[in-house]
Amino acid sequence: MSPLGHWLYNVLVAVDQLGNALAGGDPRARISTRVGFHCQRSRMAHFGYWRLLRAIIDFTFLPIDGPDHCANAYKADHEAHHENGSDTARAILGLVVILFCALLVPIIRLLALLGYVRKTAVT
């Protein structure tokens, strides 16, 4: 990865972790990991909410990671602590996911069409 690519990756991870913290999650964990955890480990009243977020995130990162981005993120970082959060926290998380993914989908798809994006393992 080029120095610019490495810098951009680090910035995106930091924004991801900030979004998770703003939504009542562990500031060291990524949103994809949190969503993957709740989809695989919990059977709560909000399971449909977590599945919807998983579908949005998985679709966004499909050209990079292939299917199951959230599940793979959780498997790679299963030691993080994940909060379900209050209704307000889940609403904030939903907004963060929708806004962030809406910005990323066209960029990732364009980069994939141009050959700049290759499928990689989640790290």
Record the tokens describing residue 50, joined without a space.
Answer: 């977590």
Residue 49 lies in a domain: yes
Q: Which residue has the tokens 């120095």?
A: 3
Residue 118 lies in a domain: no
Residue 15 lies in a domain: yes
What pLDDT shows up at residue 32?
93
What length does the chain have?
Answer: 123
Residue 117 has pLDDT above 90, yes or no: no
What residues make up the domain containing 97? 3-113
**pLDDT bracket for residue 47 (50, 70, 90):** confident
Give the total number of structural domains in the chain.
Answer: 1
Alpha-carbon distance 80 to 108, whole Å? 27
Residue 107 lies in a domain: yes
Residue 63, number of CB atoms within 10 A of its CB: 17
- What are 84-109's pLDDT values in tens digits? 778 899 999 999 999 999 999 999 89
pTM of the model: 0.86
